[in-house]
Amino acid sequence: VVFNRNVPFKRQLEITRNTDVFIGIHGAGLTHAMFLPDWASLFE
């Protein structure tokens, strides 16, 4: 589990790019989903 609050933006993208399962609440919090790899699953 990663909380991106205090993580630099570039590092957030690196983490997202290597994510297998992305879980978030509906809304702007899922903006990083566009950087997910092709094999990743998104749970909203």
Q: What is the pLDDT of residues 7-26, one digit of tens each?
A: 898 998 898 999 999 988 88
pLDDT at 4: 67
The domain limits of the chain are: 7-43
Confidence (pTM): 0.69
For residue 23, give the nearest of 3, 4, 36, 42 by alpha carbon: 42
3-state secondary structure 1-44: CCCHHHCCHHHHHHHHHCCCEEECCCCHHHHHHHHCCCCCEEEC
